[in-house]
């Protein structure tokens, strides 16, 4: 009679250990899934913010590009129909360069044409 009781206790221990292992594995998988989901969500949010930042930069960049185009028209064609002076446009474009809205590549085509420089 003692052998079947030992077997019953050993079996109960095995069932408890297996149940604990199953529970631990389930919790680990749930944690791994949530961690991956959070990482994907943060990547999505960062990508969305980058798109919004690019849209904002484009809104700020548009007037600078317009000034640069007006400066090209004024300088290349010496068009008296352009309502701004070359000096004013040069100051505007220089401000856009100084703040990083425009880069050197944007104005490289104009730099050699300007007599006063930027």
Model confidence pLDDT, tens digit, residues 62-111: 888 887 777 776 654 555 555 556 677 777 777 888 887 887 777 776 65
The answer, yes or no, to whether residue 1 has pLDDT greater than 80, is no
Structure tokens at 115: 């007599």
CB neighbours (10 Å) of residue 89? 24
Supply the Cα-derived Rg of the chain in whole angstroms.
35
Model pLDDT for residues 18-39, shown as the tens digit of each residue: 999 999 999 999 998 988 888 8
Answering whether pTM is above 0.85, one says no
């Amino acid at each position: 009679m003692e052998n079947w009781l030992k077997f019953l206790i050993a079996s109960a221990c095995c069932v408890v250990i297996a149940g604990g292992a199953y529970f631990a594995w389930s919790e680990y998988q749930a944690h791994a899934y949530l961690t991956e989901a959070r990482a994907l969500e943060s990547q999505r949010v960062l990508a969305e913010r980058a798109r919004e930042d690019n849209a904002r930069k484009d809104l700020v960049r548009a007037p600078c590009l317009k000034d640069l185009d007006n400066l090209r028209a004024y300088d290349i064609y010496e068009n008296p129909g352009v309502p701004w002076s070359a000096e004013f446009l040069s100051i505007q474009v220089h401000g856009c360069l100084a703040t990083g809205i425009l880069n050197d590549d944007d104005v490289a085509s104009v730099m050699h044409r300007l007599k006063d420089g930027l």
